[in-house]
Amino acid sequence: MIAGVRFKINELATIFFIYLIIDVLVSFSQFLHLGPGSFFANIYGSAAHIERSLGLSSRAMGLSSGPGQHGSILALFYVFFLYLLIYTDVNKFRNIFSVFLALIGILLAQSQTSFIAITLGTIFIIFYSIVNGTVKERRTSLVVFILLLFGASSIFIIFLDELRYLYSLIELGLERNSYQVRVGRTTYVWSLATSTPLLLLIGYGKDFFGTLSGAMDNEYLYIFFIYGFFVGILFVLAIIIFVIKVLWQRSQYPKHYLMIVFTFLIGLVIAFPTAFFTDPRLIILMTSYFLIDEAKSIQQNV
């Protein structure tokens, strides 16, 4: 940021689009247990995810280390292209195609958290666009919502048996095993922390929790206990204040800051059972959002 590097939003869109195509092709080959998928899984994935997630549940990992991380990065791309589709006139076909690519990738990863996040995020973005958008943005929002609803429903019906893990979210809800494991881990971390309550404010550090510090899943749990409640509260407040200021004073900020707000909102959901704001790849991508040159982007779009 100090170096003064700036991006055009369309340049980022092109890079993201190429990544999405490669990632979804790899995901399909993993989902169908074809050779190329295994090759990329061995490069990027962990042994545990290859055996349990990909081997047992057919959860595609794409170009990520696991299906959870895969779903998180695709959720970010989903919001990025959904914003471009509704709020810009640049390359509509690429944007709608990219939204569906990201959606398909999330379904192939069978990431329940990312699926919930983009579902809630889509509802919020559509509602916000209808209430605060122009006539064109409102019309586009409604069309996009109908297309997404129809597309997602079709994929679920066609691949019902293959998407059994994701479908368990509807069948079992909070009773599913993965959620119960996370609840048990949270309870255990809390019991360890309360044994030395004086460190709650300044944090316990990673050594205190040992190997568990790298497998807390819940990002709030990780930040509040590793770095302390003081840092955790600042972290949450910074995001909430940014979101509120941009939504309520939209005209005072660059237009694409709305995209950052939408990204942060889905991130707050994804952070409950996995990493989002502390994921190195996502940190780099979200930093690039603040380096978008709005003037150049507008000039190029015209």
What is the C-alpha separation between 265 and 272, in angstroms, rounded?
12
Q: Which of 84, 20, 71 is nearest to 259 (CA)?
A: 84
Tokens standing for residue 186 = 């949270």
Taking all residues of the chain, what is their mean pLDDT, rounded to a whole number?
Answer: 81
More confident residue, 51 or 193: 193
Average pLDDT estimate for 157-183: 60
Confidence of residue 302 (pLDDT cuts 50, 70, 90): very low
Q: What is the pLDDT of residue 75?
A: 95
Confidence of residue 297 (pLDDT cuts 50, 70, 90): very low
**C-alpha distances in angstroms, 266 versus 73, 91, 114, 154, 275?**
11, 24, 8, 24, 12
The pTM (predicted TM-score) of the whole model is 0.85
Q: What is the pLDDT of residue 218?
A: 81
More confident residue, 236 or 50: 236
What is the C-alpha separation between 240 and 226, in angstroms, rounded?
21
Confidence of residue 110 (pLDDT cuts 50, 70, 90): confident
7-62 pLDDT, tens digit per residue, is 889 889 999 999 999 999 988 888 877 766 666 666 766 666 666 666 556 778 88
